Amino acid sequence: MLPEVDALGTIHGSFMRYGFVIDQDRCIGCHACTVACKEEHQVPIGVFRTWVKYVETGEFPDTRRHFGVMRCNHCDDAPCIEICPTHSLFRRSDGIVDFDNRRCIGCKSCMQACPYDALYIDPNSNTAAKCNFCAHRVEQNLEPACVIVCPTQAILAGDLDDSSSKPGAVIANKKTSVRKPEKETLPKLHYVGIHDDLLQPTRLLKQNTLLFADRRDTPMALGNFDAKQTREVYDVPHPVPWGWKIAAYLWTKSIAAGVLLISALLIFFGTPGTRLNIVSPIIALVGVATTLALLIFDLKRPDRFFYMLIKPNFRSWLVLGGNILVVYGALAAAWLFFGWEEFGVPAVIVWSTGVLAIATAAYSAFLFAQAKGRDFWRHKWFNAWQLLVQALVAGSAVQWIVTIFQQPTVFAQLLYFAFTLKMSLVLWLINLAIELILPQRTAEERMARRSLVRGPLSRHFLSLVILGILCPLGIFVFGNSAALATVAAIMALFGLFWFEYVWVRAGQSVPLS
């Protein structure tokens, strides 16, 4: 029985758990569900709410082709709802995970949170979209479009908890599987007879040529040592959501947080000065403004950025982090005010700014940890510590460069910045070593780390270690020239940007579907 809907679209009645059961033993791979979905929702060319994936197993002449129908899993514990900063994604009382594109700002965080590649950016509206169970049809006691067009009745939809419904009866009487149960999202898309490798995309051998006769790739050649000889032969494109702008945002945020954190520590050790009270907060304010500009620039709907203020989801670290940045910017402005007027910066401003600098540096670790689809980013406490160390690197390097050009005779401060830069570089190097030897809990994490050391990102990563850490350390330890030390500081900043770039890319190097 379908729920009652009022004139405003609010669903009333007892809680239900609408979901899908797809019988892959019946599926013939005809794509009727994909076509019906596109027609029902006017889905643009190049993006999909539901699609059919093909894999092949065995070697000629003993080969088989298997199909898998992919779409949103309408999870009971949907990570896309938690990370969405404007409540654009929500769960209805009937269990359908729906979306409101009028609230979406196009941040793409939901695409990172979904372990199933179910979300995409609609090129017409520049907002997120996905399967919504044809909620408008459900409200009229109609089945979803994909269900009514399936020629073999392979797709069943209804209340999974009702054993008298078609999908409920299948779940009660047959063995079913779900995709990635280890993600603990409680998916409501069940499969009958699906090939195991379609449930775990990291086990597939990716196709890198269009001609079957030209295939020379192996799991080892592709860098995926966990892959079996199950070949992916048909899929739809899934572009990487985050690129250089997110890497640049992490970099500018490290500078913004680091300069005042280093200044606060320097004041604590008793060497305040005009440069600390004026130049440092100016650099921090420019860094905060640039960071916010990059975040807005990366939105697909930058005209809606203020929705995070008027329609905030305080469970999302995108909202919490934005608020931290704003408060930190206000404290930096207060620091600049007192420094400019030569009143002397009150201790409460210095220490409050120091605490907010730590929060500004580290909060992104919790945002990335909410990206439940990306195992490489899930070590939130370690990543928070790593981001703090990077802020110390950036802050020390910038302070050295500014001091050497503005007040090169202030040797005590120069020695302090040289010391903090050396120590933070050592800590950064130790962090990288730990990150590479930490226990790798999942295949996704193993593949992401492998892409850093032996895959397509290895050259960038090795350049980072050599040019961004080892060379600056060598200069500070063995060099005795201020000019060389300045070069080392610039190299450290360059290496930090490359690290953010490869870290963001490595997390997205593993296929989700």
| 191 closest CA partner among 63, 64, 52, 76 | 52
pLDDT for residue 206:
67
Could you give the CA distance from residue 368 to residue 96 in angstroms, rounded to a whole number?
25
CA distance 247 to 291: 10
Q: Are 318 and 249 in contact (CB under 8 A)?
A: no
Q: Could you give all domains of the chain from N- to C-terminal order, each with its CATH number?
A: 4-234 (3.30.70.20), 244-507 (1.20.1630.10)
Q: Which two tokens stand for residue 74?
A: 């309408």
191 exposure class (CB count in 10 Å sphere: 0-12, 13-18, 19+): buried
- Are the C-beta atoms of 71 and 190 separated by less than 8 Å? no
Residue 481, C-beta contacts closer than 8 angstroms, at least 6 positions apart: none
CA distance 255 to 150: 55
DSSP per-residue letters across 96-151 = -EEE-TTT-----HHHHH-TT---EEETTTTEEE---TTHHHHTTT---HHHHH-T
- The two tokens of residue 283 are 């650099």
Q: What is the pLDDT of residues 395-431, one digit of tens each?
A: 999 999 988 887 766 677 788 888 899 999 999 999 9
Q: CA quadruple 329, 331, 332, 338: dihedral positive or negative? A: positive
pLDDT (tens, 9 = 90+) of the chain, 513 residues, equals: 333 433 333 444 446 899 999 999 999 999 999 999 999 999 999 999 999 999 988 887 888 889 999 999 999 999 999 999 999 999 999 999 999 999 999 999 999 999 999 999 999 999 999 999 999 999 999 999 999 999 999 999 999 999 889 999 999 999 999 999 999 999 999 999 999 989 988 887 666 554 444 444 444 334 443 445 688 888 888 889 999 999 999 999 999 999 999 999 888 876 655 567 889 999 999 999 999 999 999 999 999 999 999 999 999 999 999 999 999 999 999 999 988 876 778 889 999 999 999 999 999 999 999 999 999 999 899 999 999 999 999 999 999 998 888 776 667 778 888 889 999 999 999 999 888 887 777 889 989 998 988 888 998 888 888 888 999 989 888 877 888 999 999 999 999 999 999 999 999 999 998
Q: pLDDT tens across 200-243, in order?
A: 888 876 665 544 444 444 443 344 434 456 888 888 888 899 99
Indicate the DSSP class of residue 377: G
Give the predicted TM-score (pTM) of the model: 0.90
Residue 218: its pLDDT value, please?
43
The distance of Cα 276 from the centroid of its chain, to the nearest Å, equals 35
Q: How far is CA 424 from the centre of its chain?
A: 26
CA distance between the termini of the chain: 33
How much is the pLDDT for 10? 40
Q: Give the integer Cα–Cα distance in Å for 489 and 475.
A: 10
